[in-house]
Amino acid sequence: MTEKNTFGRNLRRARSHLILVIGLFLAFGASIYLEGWDSITTRQRVSLIENTQTTELAPSTPLTSQELEWAKIAWQYFVNNTIAETGLANSADKYTASTLWDTASYLMGAISAERLGIIKKQEFDQRIEKALESLAKIPLYNDELPNKSYSTLSLAMVDYENNDSDLGIGWSALDIGRFFVPMNVLVWNYPQHSAKVRKVISRWKFDRMLQDSYFYGGVVEPGEEHELQLLQEGRLGYEQYSAKSLSLIGEDVANALDYFTYLRFEDVNGIQVGTDVRDNIRFGANNAIVSEPYILDGIEFGFDQTSQELAWRVYQAQEARFQQEGILTAVSEDNIDEAPYFIYNTVFSNGKAWNTLSEDGREWPEFKSISTKAVFGWHALYNTPYTKTLLDSMANANDPKLGWFSGIYEKDMRVNKALTANTNGIILESLAYKAFGRLINPYSDDNTSANKIQ
């Protein structure tokens, strides 16, 4: 059957406004989505592909019994942390609040668990339906966009300390972009939920979030008279990743999708790694290069040719560090089990390779870590001898009754026992990708089969 006919069949199946918007985009943009954004200069292209060493992606293969057990451990986090009354999952173990990013990780975790046969279709539908019903009720910041954090118990807007906030604390454009990943999957592959998806997002107003096709976050600083600041949001990797799902619903995010305007290569252990010239000194935000957005791009969308090359360089630098210095390396941002509780372990940021820092830019070298989700993600994508070595190092980084912990500290190989929705959701996604390929697949008739698992 031709792609055109398949496209028409999916439109009829979905029967929602959102699917029509996606269809309109794909009608003229499928080649961009599948092949990559190619509106770059010859000089930029030559600079990117010079000495290219991009490896082929690992083929889809059935999960082993061990891998299936690992997926079940990850799902146990959500068994323990889904609030029955609201259908939302806690962003961290027993911490009754969640961001939109973490909610997306839960929803993608549920989609992955259903495809892997860990939960039955009936439970999946009940979970998705309950979550979407709650998300349709949440108060919006300024009746405009979702607040940065919500109580998973009451659905009230909260601050990052989980205190109720009547006015809210603003919005994250990157989190909203991430949220549209499961929304796209649901309308394409589970069209029975399309009406509820439409109800969730129909209230949202993107005018201030998308300006000149860049992302703008809404920030309310503590102690101020609730004065909202609009700040450009997103750096290389995260910016393009979050823009891709919004491009699929027809939003103008052309500048946010652009990899090249602010691209600069830095030598990291002999690898030319793409970095973002918008540093914290001049632009007021950390330009962290980490694994997560590239992993998510690969396992969810399927790489375009540019992101595949940039991702491979990010991975290669981490393997090179191990080969040259003997330090197991798989870095990303993660919760940690002591103050400051959230850090960015980076390939490069704020002018330094292998920098570890908190959101405020303070450096925390004592918390350099191997990230569990990064290990699973890179292994699913590349399946190299090095990713297998990383995977072996994670043997003790879980509790079957709780889920997967966030990682292992470099200095003493002590387990970082933070438990989060994001870590466990991405592990589930990575294993589903290994079994079935990219997770956003609008032309698939049957993304829910578990018959590839042995």
Calculate helix-pair angle for 173-189, 238-247, nearest 10 degrees: 40
Average of per-residue pLDDT across 387-397:
96
pTM over 0.85: yes
Q: Between β-strands 348-349 and 342-345, what pairing exists: parallel, antiparallel or unpaired?
A: unpaired
What are the distances in angstroms from CA 209 to CA 171, 220, 287? 9, 14, 20
Amino acid found at 240? Q
Average of per-residue pLDDT across 30-51:
44
Average of per-residue pLDDT across 210-216:
96
Beta strands in 291-443 (DSSP E): 333-335, 342-345, 348-349, 352-353, 356-357, 369-371, 398-399, 403-409, 415-419
pLDDT, residue 226, reads 77
Q: What is the pLDDT of residues 56-111, one digit of tens each?
A: 899 999 999 999 999 999 999 999 999 999 999 999 999 999 999 999 999 999 99
Q: Give the three-class secondary structure for 338.
A: coil
Checking if the pLDDT of 27 tops 80, the result is no
Average of per-residue pLDDT across 295-306:
97
Q: Which pLDDT band holds residue 383 (cuts at 50, 70, 90)?
A: very high
Q: At a CB cut-off of 8 Å and minimum separation 6, what does 227 contact? A: 220, 221
pLDDT, residue 447, reads 43
Distance CA(439)–CA(115), nearest Å, equals 10
Calculate helix-pair angle for 100-115, 65-81, nearest 10 degrees: 140
Largest CA distance in the chain: 60
Checking if the pLDDT of 43 tops 80, the result is no
pLDDT, residue 282, reads 74
DSSP 193: G
Checking if the pLDDT of 323 tops 70, the result is yes
pLDDT, residue 227, reads 87
pLDDT, residue 441, reads 82
Average of per-residue pLDDT across 356-384:
97
Q: Give the three-class secondary structure for 435.
A: helix
Beta bridge partners of 82: 89
Q: Domain 3-436, CATH 3.30.590.10 — does that match? A: no
> Among 236, 212, 336, 230, which Cα is nearest to 291's?
236
Phi (first) and psi of residue 442, to 5 degrees: -65, -15
pLDDT, residue 444, reads 55
Distance CA(193)–CA(278), nearest Å, equals 40
Distance CA(415)–CA(395), nearest Å, equals 10
Question: Is there a contact between 379 and 335 (Cβ–Cβ < 8 Å)?
Answer: no
User: What are 132's two structure tokens?
Assistant: 């979407």
User: What are 390's two structure tokens?
Assistant: 């990383």
What are the distances in angstroms from CA 198 to CA 101, 136, 157, 192, 204? 19, 9, 21, 12, 10
> Among 256, 440, 298, 309, which Cα is nearest to 383's?
298
User: What are 387's two structure tokens?
Assistant: 């990713």
Phi (first) and psi of residue 449, to 5 degrees: -70, 135
**What average pLDDT does the chain have?**
88
Checking if the pLDDT of 138 tops 80, the result is yes
The residue to which tokens 């190299």 are assigned = 384
* Structure-model confidence comparison of residues 183 and 34, the more confident one: 183
Q: Which pLDDT band holds residue 443 (cuts at 50, 70, 90)?
A: low
CA atoms within 13 A on the CB side of 401: 0
* Segments in 383-441 forming alpha helices (H): 385-393, 421-436
Beta strands in 305-393 (DSSP E): 333-335, 342-345, 348-349, 352-353, 356-357, 369-371
Checking if the pLDDT of 53 tops 90, the result is no
pLDDT, residue 49, reads 52
DSSP 138: S
> Among 290, 287, 296, which Cα is nearest to 359's?
287
Q: Provide, rounded to the nearest whole percent, the portion of the chain with pLDDT above 90.
A: 80
* Structure-model confidence comparison of residues 451 and 212, the more confident one: 212
Average of per-residue pLDDT across 118-144:
98
User: What are 48's two structure tokens?
Assistant: 């990117």
Average of per-residue pLDDT across 245-253:
94
Question: Is there a contact between 294 and 314 (Cβ–Cβ < 8 Å)?
Answer: yes
Checking if the pLDDT of 454 tops 50, the result is no
